[in-house]
Structure 1
Amino acid sequence: MIVRLASSFLALEGDVILKLFDRRFATTIREEREVCPWTEDIEKEYHQFILDGGASKLFTELKANSELAEQEGDDWNDLQFEAYLHHLMLGLYETEVEVYNTLKDLQGNDIPRLFACVTVPNSTCEQTAPISQYVDVPGILLQYIVGVSLSDTALHAPKECWQSICEDAIRIVHLIGSNQARWSDAEDLGKEVVRISEIVHGETHPETLVFMRKLCYTIRNQGHLEEAKNLGEKAIDGMEKAGMGRDRRMMVAMVDLAVTYRELRLMPEP
């Protein structure tokens, strides 16, 4: 929803987007599960369900088994489903915040800026301690960008602008995708795979060398050329020692490394 803060310690001016992860209005999920819409009576019963320990018990089970809703959800009563929905909304909220933090460099340009995380209380003062974590609504404050959805572009934008708008949307999708792979994660994963391979096989196994080559390629695409060069050289050296000199994968690895070298200006353009 679009809101305007009357007084803000964030020094925000104008309209902002308040996005709430509120189980009470998760109408699509309720319809898919064929569960009754939220009512005030259900809310009162749900609060008592929390006080009786039901929500805490279900949260513990959901954390231990991510497939629980699929396995047992059809047998849940309305109060168990309310607890499940709140658990689901919390997960969606945490995931979205993590995504915005990961894409911090794109905020304000290609995606909205995340201004703040908020909590909307849904419990009275005397209930706060035992109930709040199961009823209070998490949310985020986002930059408001005036525009229309991509699906409605044809209704609002001149035809000559359609292609550039779609191309820009695709560019942003690619930017977001490229930011998902982080060098530190890739490096840690690569080292762990090599370590396990050496424990199991007593040496670096050929399949691990192929993995290292693929990892080198991924790292290069993320712009970490020096790291890609080092890993690529190590992979090729290991392939040679493993007798993979005539293997097609060896040739591919050498091509990948050649491209990386060229990008580092260590060899001329062909």
Structure 2
Amino acid sequence: MEVELLNQPDNKRAALKVFDRRFASQLRLDYRVGSSTVAKETAFVECVESGDASQFVDRLRNDEDFEEPEEGWNMRQNGAYLYDLCLDMYEAESTVYQRLENLQGKEIPQLLAQFTLQATAALDTVLDKVTKFFEVKGVLIELIDEYTLSDLPTKAPKESWGDICNEAVRVIRLLDDYSILNEDVRPSNIMITRQPTQDKYRVVMLDFVHCIFRESGETNKQWGRRKWNQDEEGAIGLVMRYRLKKLDYDFPFEHSNHFLE
């Protein structure tokens, strides 16, 4: 969501990302739970008040054998499941911004703020220990407002394609230095913005909600296998080489083989 910052010069704008299960339309579509309704919210409140939501989320996070039944979660559980998904996404996004602090304002957007809202009247009736289920978390980040790498052929001159794609691959490879694996690398999550004063393009990674992190006991071999199988650099380099080849442009991408066993 694009917002305008008050008391800022030149009506500065920013991007507001809110992790609210009630309005997470794509998540609700992906998991086939439908739009939020009064009945669904009532069921969720009852699930929280009874203590079932806490137990459900605890099992999701700590019980490897806990799986969705064949008939799916019930209405009460769906609310708790979406709550946990949104919390996971927020935690992944905020952790990446913290780890990549020195890249903010350059290869990733500048993080302007993190926030927690209490966004429901149900807070007046529930115990303090479960108020977390009615909190809405989010981040305010620098707005990158030009075009994505997917739009490169129609937005940038052909002579710049190679440099821009090489820079995009370089930016993705930076994740390797911070023990981060992004499971959602794609050209549409790479923004390109022209910097006229420097006569060059800025290439920016976006959207870190599907990032995972190296575990403390994970060996180099185990982590390397996960990184190699995910092939983040190939999700940019190979994809763009294929797309540009159809436009008679040769982008000579090669894997770094950094995690090759």
Shorter-chain TM-score above 0.5? yes
Q: What's the secondary structure of 1:118's corresponding residue? A: strand
Distance in 1, matches of 2:29 and 2:120, equals 26
The structure-2 alpha-carbon separation of the partners of 1:12 and 1:98, relative to structure 1 and needing over 3 Å to count, comes to: farther
Structure 2 residue 2 is matched with structure 1 residue 2: yes
Which residue of the other structure, out of 33, 36, 39, is the alignment partner of 1:35?
33
Q: Report percent identity of matched pairs.
A: 32
Structure 1 residue runs without a partner (length 5+): 194-209, 215-270
Equivalent residue, structure 2, for 1:161: 160
Structure 2 residue 140 is matched with structure 1 residue 141: yes
Equivalent residue, structure 2, for 1:76: 73
Write the deviation string for residues 216-251 of structure 1: whole angstroms up to 9, x where unpaired: xxxxxxxxxxxxxxxxxxxxxxxxxxxxxxxxxxxx
Aligned residues of 1:49 and 1:79 also touching (Cα < 8 A): yes
TM superposition shift of 1:12: 11
Aligned residues of 1:123 and 1:132 also touching (Cα < 8 A): no
Distance in 1, matches of 2:7 and 2:45, equals 32
Equivalent residue, structure 2, for 1:171: 170
The structure-2 alpha-carbon separation of the partners of 1:95 and 1:147, relative to structure 1 and needing over 3 Å to count, comes to: same
Once the two structures are superposed, the pairs formed by residues 222-237 of structure 1 within 5 Å of their partners are: none
Q: Where is the helix percentage greater, Structure 1 or Structure 2?
A: 1
Amino acid aligned to 1:44: T
Aligned residues of 1:22 and 1:89 also touching (Cα < 8 A): yes
Equivalent residue, structure 2, for 1:107: 104
Structure 2 residue 49 is matched with structure 1 residue 57: no
Aligned residues of 2:109 and 2:144 also touching (Cα < 8 A): yes
Distance in 1, matches of 2:46 and 2:7, equals 36
Once the two structures are superposed, the pairs formed by residues 248-263 of structure 1 within 5 Å of their partners are: none
The structure-2 alpha-carbon separation of the partners of 1:7 and 1:66, relative to structure 1 and needing over 3 Å to count, comes to: farther
Equivalent residue, structure 2, for 1:199: none
Q: What's the secondary structure of 2:147's corresponding residue? A: coil
Greater Cα radius of gyration, structure 1 or 2: 1
TM-score under structure 1 normalisation? Answer: 0.59
The number of aligned residues is: 187
Amino acid aligned to 2:103: L
Instruction: Please give the root-mean-square deviation of Cα atoms over the aligned residues, in Å.
Output: 3.3
Distance in 2, matches of 1:121 and 1:150, equals 37
Higher relative contact order (Cα pairs below 8 Å, separated by 6+ residues): 2
Write the deviation string for residues 76-134 of structure 1: whole angstroms up to 9, x where unpaired: 21120110110111111111111111111111111111122111222225246365311
Give runs of ≥4 in structure 1 deviating > 6 Å.
Answer: none
Aligned residues of 2:47 and 2:53 also touching (Cα < 8 A): yes
TM superposition shift of 1:146: 2.2
Distance in 2, matches of 1:114 and 1:41, equals 36
Distance in 1, matches of 2:85 and 2:116, equals 16
Aligned residues of 2:16 and 2:140 also touching (Cα < 8 A): yes
TM superposition shift of 1:152: 1.7
